[in-house]
Amino acid sequence: MRDRSGRIRILANFETVVPGENNVSWSKLLVEQIEYSNVILLNKIDLVPSAEEMDKIKLHVTALNSKATILEAKHSVMDVLQVVNTNLYDASDFATDHIIPFETAVEEKDCCKASVSRGETPCCKNARTITTDLSEVMLSSKSLPKTRHESRFGITSFVYRANRPFHSARFHENFINKYFIFVDLEDEDEDDEDEMQEATEEDEDVKMTAAEKEEKEEENKTKEGETDADDNKKEEDDDENYREMALKELQEEAATKKQLRLDTLGTILRSKGFVWTPHTHDSMVVYGQAGNNVNMEHGENTWKVLNPKAWTEGSEEDIALYRTKFITPYGDRRQELVFIGGPDMKHEKIQTELDDCLLTNKEFALGVDGWKATIDDLFMEN
């Protein structure tokens, strides 16, 4: 639970910006492990200095996974039968891949069914739906029973939806880069570029005459002889010092953004879903935030409006049913993000901030070609 520096490890890992393998942060790995768990063991609880710190740990864990069995232990002493052969695993629990937000089904009343038939929001959801000219926020249902952990720690959640694209630059500058550290998973491609450069140099070597090759080899040997072991050591030390300084600066930047995020938006422990941007018109961009880190990836899923079932497959009734939630002219393309946080999470402010990142009416009227011609790419180099 604690590392040698005295920090509580789970909280430190949740907030870290240290990149791991394939540039994936420790916080993302930690969050996914918790989300996919059936049993979570909190070990070394005797090293947690206060009940308040313990509550903070449980807040993080239960916000990410309120269904898992949470065990506490000292020195890993526990009843092993609570961990093995529990028969808790159910593949259907992971059908959504923890990416697309979904709501727990609530039986609709007759009045709700009537409002839906009129094309309106179900009346049972009106009280917990906050709409603006650009979006809606759906708060979690109060009619559903709360888990013990949700009642104790005041975990809150909501879903943000909007039916127009985010302006790529505004979304990056005014939301992601303002409040979080953006983790570009495409950075690993730089290694491929280095390999391509080496291959190019090898091709040039092939074109050399034997005399030119011999001359170049002599030059390389001379250069290697001029560089002694001390110089190599100094260069390695300089590189390590540079990396440490860069990481320290990044951690300081993350701490500053975290404080701004807490002051402005409240406690956001986790957010995830998919977004629609001008330059990713035909594919869902998968959005994920864990602690201080945000990453965005082109998902394998495409919008339903691009599926033949929406146009030609099946009867007219089947097609109409498939297109129930489509909105002209862009079908089911939309923003859909779920936010999970503490009792102080400010859904109104988050909605306002995200609305400001959407295309304005003038921008939206330009259409797809106009967007691509006038708006910077979301995945541009920062």
Residues in the chain: 382
Among 18-27, 75-84, 88-97, 189-198, the range scoring the smallest mean pLDDT is 189-198
Tell me the angle at which helices 347-355 and 229-265 cross, rounded to the nearest 10 degrees: 110
* % of the chain at pLDDT higher than 90: 34
Report pLDDT for 45.
Answer: 79
Report pLDDT for 211.
Answer: 64
CA atoms within 13 A on the CB side of 270: 25
Q: Is the pLDDT of residue 356 over 90?
A: yes
Q: d(Cα 31, Cα 316) in Å, to the nearest integer?
A: 43
Report pLDDT for 41.
Answer: 79
DSSP annotation string for 87-138: ----GGGGTTTTTS------PPPHHHHHHHHTTS--HHHHTTEEE-SSEEEE
> 357 with 276: CB under 8 angstroms?
no
Q: What are the tokens at 348?
A: 């109104």
> 167 with 375: CB under 8 angstroms?
yes
Region 269-294 average pLDDT: 91
Q: What are the tokens at 119?
A: 């094309």
> 141 with 158: CB under 8 angstroms?
no
Residue 374 vs residue 32, higher pLDDT = 374
Q: What are the tokens at 17?
A: 């910006």
Report pLDDT for 240.
Answer: 78
pLDDT tens string 108-130? 566 666 665 655 555 566 778 99
Q: What are the tokens at 229?
A: 């072991």
CA dihedral over 249, 250, 253, 255, signed as positive or negative:
negative
Q: d(Cα 88, Cα 28) in Å, to the nearest integer?
A: 24
> 133 with 364: CB under 8 angstroms?
no
Answer yes or no: pTM beyond 0.85: no
* C-alpha dist (Å) from residue 79 to 69, 122, 143: 13, 47, 35
Q: How confident is the model at residue 105 (pLDDT cuts 50, 70, 90)?
A: very low
Q: d(Cα 149, Cα 66) in Å, to the nearest integer?
A: 7
Q: Is the pLDDT of residue 201 over 80?
A: no
Q: Mean pLDDT for the chain?
A: 77
Q: What is the CA radius of gyration of the chain?
A: 26
Q: Which of these, 101, 47, 59, 123, lies nearest to 287 by C-alpha position?
A: 101
Report pLDDT for 339.
Answer: 95
> 338 with 158: CB under 8 angstroms?
yes
Q: Where are the alpha helices (DSSP H) in the chain?
A: 9-15, 26-35, 51-64, 110-117, 123-126, 148-153, 168-171, 177-179, 189-207, 210-226, 229-265, 316-322, 347-355, 361-364, 367-374
Q: How confident is the model at residue 277 (pLDDT cuts 50, 70, 90)?
A: very high
Q: Per the omega criterion (within 30 degrees of 0), is the bond before 329 cis? A: yes
Region 176-183 average pLDDT: 93
Q: d(Cα 339, Cα 186) in Å, to the nearest integer?
A: 25
> 278 with 168: CB under 8 angstroms?
yes
pLDDT tens string 208-239? 566 666 777 766 666 666 565 666 666 777 67
> 303 with 292: CB under 8 angstroms?
no
Residue spans per domain, the chain: 1-90, 96-185+259-382, 193-244
- State which fold the 96-185+259-382 domain adopts: Hypothetical Protein Yjia; Chain: A;domain 2 (3.30.1220)
Q: What are the tokens at 130?
A: 């906050």
Residue that is written with structure tokens 């306002």 in the block: 352
Output b/e per residue, 319-357; b: 16+ Cβ within 10 A.
Answer: eeebbeebeeebbbbbbbbbbbbbeebbbeebbebbeeb
Residue 152 vs residue 336, higher pLDDT = 336
pLDDT tens string 287-336? 999 889 998 988 778 899 999 999 998 899 999 999 988 999 999 999 99
* Residues β-bridged to residue 160: 137, 337
Q: d(Cα 163, Cα 136) in Å, to the nearest integer?
A: 10
